[in-house]
Amino acid sequence: MSMQLRSLVNTKCKWYNTSPSNMSEEINLKNENNIIPKAETGTNPIIFQNYDVVIIGAGPAGLACARVCAEAGATVAVFERRKQIGEKVCAGGITMHGILDRFKDIVQRTFPAQTIVTRHQRAEIHAKEAIIATLNRVELGERMALEACRAGANIFVGAQVQEINAGSVTVCVKNKLGEEKERQVHYTCLVGADGSNSRVRRFLGLPVELKGFGINCQLPITREKMEWHLNPSLFASGYAWIFPHRETTSIGVYGDSEMISARELCKNFQTWTQAEGFDLEGQQLRAENINFDYRGVEFKKDSRIYLVGDAAGLASGLTGEGIYSAVISGEYVGNRIINPSWENEIFTRLEARHARHLKAVRYARTYPKRLSLLSEGTCLLLRLGLLPINKAEMGG
């Protein structure tokens, strides 16, 4: 292992909730054998002064990176500003050609058929095996957090990073009385896994010039079919979705922010839900920016700073898909931290697929009047079996 590890080696699984209202609560998670290990929590979170790797953000990218680094013996601290790991505006779809095999035990529904709906067509795409599955993002987050903890990583939730400097970060946590305390934590490597509005990315001076916008609502209803609705008059180059889960259904919309404003997309989404017969009365709509402005994952060789997942801009600009990119990029960066010369064909293919999706986005921006023809042509090719549906996947 090329990096110089400090003597501070973590040997216990520790997962701290720094929110005072939840300080004494134990975090219980099931593993694949239905054994419920108890991650240690404490009223006074132990945040050491030095770590080999500091990761900001406990999404799939950050947790994947934490697990890889901790398994190699590095000391790892993950700081998550939210009190709940896994919450995100997301349909919860994960493709068979990507990483679904890793999470089969927490999959809620699988779909060997996909329904593509345009203004003039309705295509049913069938396969022998499931094409896409749905899972709960909180369950995914808890599962990946447990894996990282078992590897030796320290995870601190409710911990807000206030300041980033070369070689150190300042973290704000609350004690048992609810009083805010700041701690300066030094790092050898810093990983920005803090989403599309990444503080680490801003510290690096990298703007976000390519982004989309997603809206999601989890309805307490069940549906049988997974549907994709292409309607340029409502969503421009984006789409609306219906993704059934075990006891709920995710409905939502994604759009390219360059082609349609968030306000207009939200208005058109409500028009679409009414036409589809969905009742949003009393339901919570959640919205989030989606960064697909990818400029690399490794920066500042001297202080070794990395970006992964949405922070790196690795979500698909075409579909907004991000789970696969998050996990793959997190693992890739984790291995690069341990061995700077490490390379991986899977990540190389991910970069190539992201570039192809971006090329399609740029084409749609250049020729917006062709969107209707493109959507109808895509649907027709899918119906005829001339276009594999996995061409739209980041992991296909």
Domain ranges of the chain: 14-87+137-208+292-355, 93-136+211-291+370-392
Is 135 in a helix, a strand, or coil? strand
In this prediction the pTM is 0.89
Q: Is the pLDDT of residue 303 over 90?
A: no
Q: What percent of the chain has pLDDT over 90?
A: 71
**In whole angstroms, what is the distance from residue 356 CA to residue 131 CA?**
21
Question: What is the structure's pLDDT at 300?
Answer: 79
Q: Is the pLDDT of residue 257 over 80?
A: yes
User: In whole numbers, what is the pLDDT of the chain averaged over residues?
Assistant: 86
CATH architecture of 93-136+211-291+370-392: 2-Layer Sandwich (3.30)
Please check whether the domain covering 14-87+137-208+292-355 is classified as CATH 3.50.50.60. yes
Instruction: Output the 3-class SS for 316-372.
Output: CCCCCCCHHHHHHHHHHHHHHHHCCCCCCHHHHHHHHHHHHHHHHHHHHHHCHHHHH
Is 103 in a helix, a strand, or coil? helix
How would you class 226 by CB atoms within 10 Å of its CB: exposed for 0-12, middle for 13-18, buried for 19 or more? buried
Per-residue confidence band for 94, with pLDDT thresholds at 50, 70 and 90 = confident
Give the neighbor-by-neighbor strand order of the sheet with 93-95: 93-95, 132-135, 107-111
